[in-house]
Amino acid sequence: MDKKSPIKITLTERDESVTITQWVYQTLRSAVMYGEILPGRVLTIRELAGILDVSPMPVREALRQLAAENALEIQGNRRVMVPKMTAMKFNELCEARIAIESHAAARALPYIDNDRLEQLRSLDSMIDQAQEEENLDQISILNQNFHRALYTANPHQVTLPLIESLWLQLGPFMRMATSELEEHYLVDRHNEAMSAIERKDAYALQMAIAADIREGIAFAGTPEMLHTFIENSGH
Amino acid sequence: MDKKSPIKITLTERDESVTITQWVYQTLRSAVMYGEILPGRVLTIRELAGILDVSPMPVREALRQLAAENALEIQGNRRVMVPKMTAMKFNELCEARIAIESHAAARALPYIDNDRLEQLRSLDSMIDQAQEEENLDQISILNQNFHRALYTANPHQVTLPLIESLWLQLGPFMRMATSELEEHYLVDRHNEAMSAIERKDAYALQMAIAADIREGIAFAGTPEMLHTFIENSGH
DNA sequence: CTTTATTGTTTGTGATCACAAAAGCGTGAT
DNA sequence: ATCACGCTTTTGTGATCACAAACAATAAAG
């Protein structure tokens, strides 16, 4: 019997064309991203291997990869855990997102063609729809897709892996906060971003992206709420 | 007999307190960073295990970690190689460095105390000395240490892993270019940075960092030279 | 001479095992 | 109660093996 809280991981069917390591990686990545594993929780290779019903080997490789992406943390004792959060670190992650993503957006702008514009418009309207339905999970996923679609317009783009690393680190806490929020209040900044893109106005786009990120944080909860989750995540 | 060019990797004595995987990781990381492995070169687990005289297992883990840090690239065929470079990608990496590092510098500035200032001054003077001796390797290492010491003044810093990833991706090409340069012409921007730090002038510091990075690139070679190396790295 | 089939080899993936270090745990002393 | 010590169990690390997919090279056919 585990003394620690039992881990409940959402399992998906494994595609035969994908290696076991890749499947384990994606599964654990989602689990971390969606806060299914509490920060501070110690992960052992054998335990995860048992839960996922695979041998320890693919788990080892997936854990090392996630640690390299800063999604997990390897302590001096060689134990792996989901990193704990502090209010200051949370703030640093948000500011880093703004700095890097507004840069990536500006660098992508000149490459946005009609196809890409159409794709962004489509995502934008899907987000509007998800907001009416108040489907928080869907909003979160579509929002990521929107940002990704924007940045990857730049064919020589090199920052997306770095951005995804930041998303991974923020993920658990965004989720923990939003899941407790009944009333949420969200101004859609994507419309502003779309307008800036159509006008090819790099500065306005950067402002819209920055505002979107900031309000995504505010959407996640007030600083006090966040503080509560962060403090409680330790024990 | 290998059909591909033989790999010559600088080996260091392995500290007993360090795991084999960590030692392999650091060894391969240095080899990539210093351009000892040519971009495009396919790396196999067993070959590296033979060169480093370890079993394939630690090599597997080190390769996966380096790939997660974008130092290596895993192709669809599951083969691992040092990523090839293009002029556009090189430019994107430089611009990403400027955006992220100037951000990190500004965020670190309020935390710089006397001890840190002294450390930075010491590194600054060591760089001056290395420049007089025209010791390119030493300059490069000290320059990295200077940047690291600056950014890590912020105790809640989260961007250093991202910055190091960019350094790793640029490393081979900086090296390849500098090694061919006889005449080099370098204005020391660290003095400007030091001055900005002492005045607690965030904007000036960002400008100095940006200039330092840009001139580090220029120092690496003219765009034409770089182009030569990039094109030749394919075959 | 070029192209396609086929065979032999190399390589990554994944499973299993051995071992030393770390963690947990009960016992006893202060 | 609290801490220290010795014992048992758990855990990460690393080595070795089996296997299927990818690759390379040769042979056959156009």
Give residue-wise pLDDT tens across range B125-161: 998 888 888 777 888 888 899 999 999 999 999 999 9
Domain boundaries, chain B: 20-81, 87-232
Distance, in Å, from the CA atom of A86 to the CA atom of A229, rounded to the nearest integer, reads 10
The spacing between the Cα labelled CA in A53 and the C1' in C6, in angstroms, equals 39
Residues 73-112 of chain A: which lie with beta carbon within 7 Å of strand C? 77-79
Distance, in Å, from the CA atom of A210 to the CA atom of A217, rounded to the nearest integer, reads 11
Distance, in Å, from the CA atom of A207 to the CA atom of A189, rounded to the nearest integer, reads 10
CA distances from A76 to A43, A45, A80 (A): 14, 16, 9
Measured in angstroms, the CA of B159 and the nearest CA of chain A are apart by 7
A26 touches chain B (CB under 8 A): no
Q: Which residue has the tokens 């400008």?
A: B207
Predicted pLDDT of residue B184: 53
Q: Is A71 helix (H, G, I), strand (E, B) or coil?
A: coil
Q: Which nucleotides of C are covered by protein (CB under 7 A)?
A: 10-17, 22-23, 25
Q: How many C-beta atoms lie closer than 10 Å to residue B46's C-beta?
A: 10
Contact yes or no for A80/A67 (Cβ under 8 A): yes
Q: DSSP code of B109?
A: G
Residue B201's contacts (CB-CB under 8 Å, 6 or more residues apart) are none
The spacing between the Cα labelled CA in A75 and the C1' in D18, in angstroms, equals 34
Give residue-wise pLDDT tens across range B11-59: 898 888 899 999 999 999 999 998 888 888 899 999 999 999 999 999 9
Q: Look at B107 and A92 and tell me if their CB atoms are within 8 Å.
A: yes
> What value does the mean pLDDT take over residues B203-209?
94
Distance, in Å, from the CA atom of A144 to the CA atom of A142, rounded to the nearest integer, reads 5
Predicted pLDDT of residue B44: 95
With a threshold of 0.85, tell me whether the complex ipTM lies above it: yes
Give residue-wise pLDDT tens across range B101-135: 999 999 999 999 999 999 999 999 998 888 888 77
Q: Which nucleotides of D are covered by protein (CB under 7 A)?
A: 10-17, 22-23, 25
Burial class (CB in 10 A: 0-12, 13-18, 19+), B41: middle
**CATH top-level class for B20-81?**
mainly alpha
Give residue-wise pLDDT tens across range A124-163: 999 888 888 877 778 888 889 999 999 999 999 999 999 9
Q: Look at B165 and A169 and tell me if their CB atoms are within 8 Å.
A: no
Distance, in Å, from the CA atom of A155 to the CA atom of B199, rounded to the nearest integer, reads 40
Domain B87-232: which topology? Four Helix Bundle (Hemerythrin (Met), subunit A) (1.20.120)
And the tokens for A27? 């599964």
